[in-house]
Amino acid sequence: MDKALAELIRISNTVGRDKTLVQGGGGNTSIKTSDGKYMYIKASGTALKDMDERNGWRRLRLEKTLDILKDPSLTKLEPQKRWVEVVSRLAKSCDDDITTDARPSVEANLHAILDKCVIHLHPIAVGAYVNAKNGKALLEKLFKDEKFPPLWVPYDNPGLTLAKKIQKLAESYQIKYGRKARILFLEKHGLFATAATPNTALKIVRDVISRCSSKLKEPPKVNIKLPKIEQINDVKLMIRKAFFKTTGQYQPIKFFPDATIASYSKSKNLKKLLSKPALTPDELVYANGPALWLEEAAAERITKKLFSQIQSGQKPARAFIVRGIGLFIAAKEKNAGIIKEVVDGSLFIRYNASRMGGILSLSKRERDFINNWEAETFRQKVAGGASEGILKDRIAIVTGAGSGLGRSIATGLAQAGAAVAIADIDKTAAQETAKLIGENFSNASTEAIFCDVTDEKSVDEAFNEVLNKWGGLDILVNAAGVAPAYPLVDLPADKWRLTLEVNLTGYFLMAKAASRIMIKQQMAGNIINISSKSGIAPSKNNTPYNATKAGELHMSRGWAMELGEYGIRVNSICPGNVFEGSKIWNPEYIKVCAKKYGIRPEEVIPYYVNKTMLKKEIKGQDIADTVVFLASDKAKMITGQTLVVDAGQVMVR
């Protein structure tokens, strides 16, 4: 590995692990090679702490990168067109073996004009000054004993415009002091530490943070008393409903119990502090601005506040601080962690900047530029991992998802963009399903949950885990089931009762708990019962299975009648014989079937396939596709219905 790249990774990881220096994927670093031909720089959207020898960086030809700054025609272009051209030229300046779509940092041009090693960070200690009205004067006072003082850079739009401004300021500084500036404070942005060696640059960072921190304070610590889980979950449902009503977006809601947040929420002027617009591009890009202060949680009030933001041209807040409860964030889990860091930093900065002459926020013009800048959209997408699909960000729970058909359905929902709770009485099997989904779909969000569907307490605990994890529910798929095969005269009564408990009581208990959440959430929802072709056309020696599968169909129709007024749709799917990965179609069951039809065990599966009109074996994916369809808006007018997916074996009567 090139020495410059090794040094870049080292300093990036060092500063990136300190959340007081960076929030989320913010900040960037660069090191120029000793021959002056190349510059290694962090890739846009990559977190500094995650950079390694394979990922998170690009190598640029320095001369080509500097040539971009020298081209006067670029300044004549409209900002967005200019940025597209700059991105294209930076891509052409790359000289490495990276095959992904990783882009060089948006500040690559700026790094090119500075010293050999550059560390650009957004430290909260520095943020308190660069976002304060008297920040510049206070920094000058802090560093008055320096022979070579820091360079103050007034705010400008990121990218080429900022690079050109700094280029002029840096040239003037060098003429005045006979050397390059080592410390640059960027108004409403952050810190640049630049030096001839990585260790010197790191030392500059440490010294600046130490000096800036010496004059800053935190609010007095308070002891927090966590609210009851029911109260927390109720607030999650209200926020999720309000966010959906104003944006049409399905979002998980994450709760953060935090002593620091509690300390700020005790402050008498927190509402005033949060009333100021976004401080930095990071706060705007990741959190859509400052956290929304709520004296109390009420869905109607939250909705009204979010509507007001949208009508004024803002993006709806993703963070909510509720008095006496804590911080709630509307975002996928990975993004929620980033937003939490941004909120923590913003609260510290606002608290201290208010003591330094007042808070200096981004102007509307500056916010509009960031909101419309494709580079920041790209950075957010890379940093947080965007989900796509017909069920994007909806929340589902699937029973019996540890194996067979349940596993296929859980996988299909995850592939369609849903967050999926994988519920099974065998938690190890559920964890295996989660692992398989994660290996195939890197952005999937899953949670393996133990659930005995016949036990009401276990069912309630499973749904509490779903609410704790994601803060809502959109889809329930009842797929857990058993099928003890006996002739009527040999059927043990305990097997009959077990089948009733799993296939009927289990479906009932799950639907009861799910519908309560969906009604309270007021975002409609879907309940899908996996029945069987045996629920329509009974099979021989399957009394309990026939009875329960027919019963599931009728329960579904009744629930559809009850829940329709809440927008909750209830439908059934009757699969044919799905053999792959099935616990029902185990060797013993196949032997029973072979005996029933007077054939050899190895002939059982071909025998059933041949009974279909299409003469094709039904796969788990076929049923998963049907579930995804029914759960989607493409089926928004379908409820109380039964879809038979059996390759044409039985007909709905």
DSSP H helical ranges for 102-197: 108-113, 124-130, 135-142, 160-177
Number of residues in the chain:
653
CB contact set of 379 (below 8 Å; sequence gap of 6+)? 25, 44, 45, 106, 285
* Contact of 645 with 628, CB cutoff 8 Å: no
- In which residue are the tokens 């991105």 written? 87
**Distance of alpha carbon 256 from its chain centroid, rounded?**
15
Q: Which of 358, 359, 331, 329 lies closest to 343, judged by CA?
A: 329
**Beta partners for 101?**
none
Q: State the helix-helix crossing angle for 3-16 and 198-213, rounded to 10 degrees.
A: 20
The b/e string for 229-256 (b: 16+ C-beta within 10 A; e otherwise) is eeebbbbbbbbbbbbbbbeeebbbbbbb
DSSP 352: H
Judge residue 313's burial from the number of C-beta atoms within 10 Å of its C-beta, 0-12 exposed, 13-18 middle, 19 or more buried: exposed
3-state secondary structure of 63: helix
Per the residue annotation, which of 545, 566, 597, 608 is the catalytic one? Answer: 545
CB contact set of 18 (below 8 Å; sequence gap of 6+)? none
- For 425-487, where are the E strands, in sequence order? 446-450, 475-478
- Indicate if 545 belongs to the active site: yes
* Contact of 570 with 525, CB cutoff 8 Å: no
CB contact set of 248 (below 8 Å; sequence gap of 6+)? none
* Contact of 544 with 505, CB cutoff 8 Å: no
CB contact set of 611 (below 8 Å; sequence gap of 6+)? 649
SS3 readout for 289-311: CCCEEECCCCHHHHHHHHHHHHH
The H-or-E segment that residue 29 falls in is strand 28-32
- For residue 210 the two structure tokens come to 């130490």
3-state secondary structure of 94: strand
For 451-457, the CB contacts below 8 A with 24+ separation are 451/399, 451/423, 451/424, 451/425, 452/425, 453/399, 453/423, 453/425, 453/478, 453/480, 453/502, 453/505, 453/506, 453/507, 453/509, 453/510, 454/501, 454/502, 454/505, 454/506, 454/509, 455/509, 456/509
Q: Which of 39, 37, 34, 20 lies closest to 123, judged by CA?
A: 20
Residues acting as catalytic residues: 545
